[in-house]
Structure 1
Amino acid sequence: MAESFKLDLTQRPRRLRRTASLRQLVTETVLRPADFIAPLFVIDGKSAPQPIASMPGVSRFAINDLVKECRALAKLGVPAVALFPKLDARLKDEEGTAALHEDALILRAVRAVKKAVPELTIMTDIALDPYTTHGHDGVLTPARDDVDNDRTVEILVKMAVLHARAGVDLVAPSDMMDGRVGAIRQALDAAGCTGTGIMAYSVKFASAYYGPFRDAVGSATAAGTHLLSKATYQLDPANRRTAMTELALDEAEGADIVMVKPAGPYLDIIRDVRNATNKPVAAYQVSGEYAQLQAAAKLGWLDLARTRHESLLAIKRAGADMILTYFAKEMATELKR
């Protein structure tokens, strides 16, 4: 019988992968319910939750059900929610004027959640796409060929102050207009809202992964297409250095937390951002990332539980301190077991 072959190795990394307990001891990245922010969609009225076809497992909630969902999330250890309104089409116009109504749906939702679940951190989207008939994040130029940066910022500033006064903990400008973080910070401070933070969508790419979200807030219906180009204000997916320029500007203007969006296809950018700043870094696992995992799992091509966990682990490993994800409730439930 031939002698068995033996390598003369001092280093055998597999030693530390031999048992489950050894692997646990040397785990470098761990997911916790406290890592997640749950994006939630709110509608007016008292209807039952409305399932979103392109986002299986995700629904729009009337305010009473939104409060119940927030209570459930807080009980699971999820510390924060991001609220997004879906308006009746009759409330939309070219200027997005419903965003500044004192009794706006989102403001009523914030007050209700803050009263019922005061320990929960609430952040709200500061952008006009849910409010405009054209689906863009701001008001259009007279030629209707671009978004007017400064006129949009003027509206966003007023919107942010309204949200802060309603009790929001973090306003989250997602519009990608130049100078909006600094203008919002100045306005919040002038209004006495010095405790309200800014989670800036600092590095938001003009991604093809946003389609289901546009369904959820109704901006796709308003625009008449999922394929609305926002390339004049969102970042070119090809540009890595530009992302660092945007990060530096938002940090200098007073952002408290910076964000990369989308997350999964931009892990290199998350790592770049993490290396470049001492600010907390958020990453948004967007609707298209969620939908593609759900679709592949439905076809039996992927194990949903394992792939959702791996996808979120990768985002955290890349450098995100917190992750906005539609898997927040499921993951928190899984991690609590």
Structure 2
Amino acid sequence: MGTGEVQACIALWDECGLLVPHNNPQEDIALFQAAPSARVLVAQLDEKIVGTVCVGHDGHRGWLYYLAVSLAHRHQGIAKALLNRAEEWLSAQAIRKVQLMIRPDNQSVAAFYQKQGYQLTPRAVMAKWLSKGADSSASSGSTDYLNTTITYLEMTSTPGFTDTELKLPEDCQLRQANKLPPSFYRYLYNTVGEPWLWWERRILSDDELEAILHESGHEVHVLYRGGVPAGFGELERKQDGSVELAYFGLLPDFIGQALGPIFLKSIVQLAWQATATKTLKVNTCNLDHPRALALYQSVGFSTTSRETRRIINPRSLGLFNKV
């Protein structure tokens, strides 16, 4: 690739908003060209570069970088053709899996990759700058972070609630949802969890979510009031006899109706119905409802440990409406 072609690629990446201060595009191209396990693939029209993709592998996984198509030539199948060519090259190198990373401020491209068969794969990506003078904070771009304190709690014996403590209002029903479809689960999870920034299940594909929901020992119990969903509790039963209350909460319209304590007691009672249950665990954090910790403690959970984590603000990932 000559100097003119290198500059054309860089100009294209600049047009597409792919350039960031902490990456030198000329050095990136030089590295791709020098490495036997990497290629720079381009699409040309009338001898002009209108699309690029950089592809490489580490002998185990393939990686994609700088997939770009000029604004004037989009929606013509160029990106898909480049992607297919990169995948073919990796397959010829006996690479079985290809991955890519999307910056938080570039989430709009995710839909394109999903149409090509790519799926979100939740992982914690860790990095360290090895070159002197590299600005490690620059890579975060517009991403911001939150410090969250997580409290872990458990219950080691059934609390023995009375019938009166478990009596729901007459217009309420608690039902276990069998073979819950992802669409209905997303409604419950997203609506209950949005005020508290529940994000982990939002990034899962329908197939990944369905696999969790239909797993043996997994239970979702939905609270209805007046015939409409008011909240849900999600239990995960483990083979060692432990049960985790993975998610619990009310839809915003039903908060403040004195449903929380009796609903939680009902879920706890269901968790202990199985004779194999040895412990019931739950965790909450300072992003949850302000009274969540006190509520768990009031029904018999005891704190076992706490930890503080610095996490990416889920709002900066485009998963929630900005406030």
Determine if the TM-score, normalized by the shorter chain, exceeds 0.5: no
Per the normalisation by structure 1, the TM-score is 0.24
Larger radius of gyration: 2
Task: Looking at secondary structure, tell me which structure has more helix per residue.
Answer: 1
Give TM-score scaled by structure 2 length.
Answer: 0.25
- Which has a greater percent of strand? 2
